[in-house]
Structure 1
Amino acid sequence: MKEIKKYDINLVKLGNKSHSYEFELDDRFFELFEQDLVLGGNLKAVVELHKSELLLQLYFHITGTVRLTCDRSLEEFEHPLEVEQTLLVRYGPEDQELDVNVLQIVPETQYINIAQHLYDYIGLALPMKKLHPRFVEEDQQLEDNPEAEGLLIYSTGAADEEEDDDEDGPVDPRFAALKKLK
């Protein structure tokens, strides 16, 4: 619990101007969250906070590397990451999340903790397919050469209907009766 307090920003002492914060996100940061998405990392987060009477604007810039598990070989590897996100915090009658990047807090709020936002932004920047760098090159070659894996044929089923209209093959007697109704 004490570890997560490092990511608190004291709003009471802030004047209505711009403020800058730097956070180091290492393995201990990722241990704060019960997850298996990221094994660890070495990241630096720079947060620019612009405070006004009605609104807080937080600009996140996160750079560094995260340790992931390869989906294909289950090996650990370092993946470079660079994230830029914006979070808007407005004052309102109750605390609630209005949108993915818009929060509402009561004016009496003294601290805002950004640890979950940092973690979420890192998670959103991860690739869907986590591949060790040696496999990325192989996949790129397959994508560039579609004949390497084989030929994909797509059919909508329209060709089958056209064949039924021809009188070449035997037709189900039920459909023959329906054709006579035309």
Structure 2
Amino acid sequence: MKKDTQYDLNIARLADKTHHFAFELDRAFFEQFDQELIPDGNIHADVTLIKTDRLLTLDFDLHGTVRQICDRSLDEYDQQVDAHEQLLVRFGDQNLELDDNVLQITPDTQTLPLAQHLFDYIGLALPMKKLHPRFQDEPDDNPDADAKLIFTTRQEGDDDDDSDDTDPRWNALRNLN
């Protein structure tokens, strides 16, 4: 990842109160990361920071679209992103990541970089199955639905319990219950 200070918050100069920040995340933002998950996008990020003497609470509201490739047709499409995440930053003896959404920083830390957090929250808001909007109204594969059988190893007349080529020892084992 290239270092871009545009997405860093200077927390040393902030007073103990609520602060609001807005970021526009476009192609230049996504090109900072060495990845192929999100090639392009247009996301508006509102960040609300509540600073106290012992804790920073950051609320992220992300809205917009990102460019995705359909898993089924390999066509590009714009995926809607609406996400709300929270990051807690507490002050301690050393810089640590305590949990997915909990960080610990030293009290003399001057800036808090947000770029990686913004990217991660956008990635988490994307669906696992990326489908072009023309495929999203189709029903999912339902195991209870009537499906066409493509291949089976059983013969037409075969029955599970009355097979002649079954080893008789298996029949004895079935009767144990």
Q: 1:90 to 1:75 in 2, by over 3 A?
A: same
Give the whole-Å Cα distance in 2 for the aligned partners of 1:42 and 1:104.
Answer: 30
DSSP-derived class of the 1:123 partner: helix
Q: In structure 2, do the counterparts of structure 1 residues 66 and 176 end up closer, same or farther at CA, with 3 Å as the change threshold?
A: closer
| Mapped contact 1:9–1:113 kept (Cα < 8 A) | yes
TM-score by length of structure 2 reads: 0.82
| Cα drift, residue 128 of structure 1 | 0.5
CA distance in structure 1 between the partners assigned to 2:41 and 2:19 by the alignment: 26
Query: Cα deviations across residues 108-142 of structure 1 (Å, max 9, x unaligned)?
Result: 000000000000000001010111111112x3276
> Does the Cα contact within 8 Å between 1:7 and 1:115 map onto a contact in 2?
yes
Where does residue 39 of structure 1 map in the other structure?
39
Q: More deviation in 65-74 or 18-27?
A: 65-74
Q: Which residue of 1 aligns with 2:64?
A: 64
CA distance in 1, matches of 2:76, 2:37: 12
Match of 2:155 in 1: none
Look up the equivalent residue of 2:64 and give its one-letter code: G
Distance 1:141 1:174 in 2: 42
Q: Structure 1 pair 129/170, CA: closer, same or farther in 2 (3 Å)?
A: closer
RMSD: 2.9
Flag the structure with higher helix content.
1
Deviations 1:82-111 (A, max 9, x none): 010000000011101000000000000000
Size of the aligned set, in residue pairs, is: 164
Runs in 1 of length 4+ with deviation above 2 angstroms?
A: 139-143, 168-178
Letter in 2 for 1:31: E
Distance 1:102 1:150, change over 3 A: same
1:5 and 1:169, CA in 2 relative to 1: closer, same or farther beyond 3 A? same
1:140 aligns with 2:147: no
Match of 1:100 in 2: 100
1:154 maps to what in 2? none
Larger Rg: 1
Gaps of 5+ in 1: 152-159
- Name the % identity: 51
**Correspondence 1:87 to 2:87:** yes
Residue identity matched to 2:13: K
Give 1:73 deviation, angstroms: 1.2
Partner of residue 155, structure 1: none
Q: 1:87 to 1:172 in 2, by over 3 A?
A: same
TM-aligned CA deviation for residue 146 of structure 1: 1.9
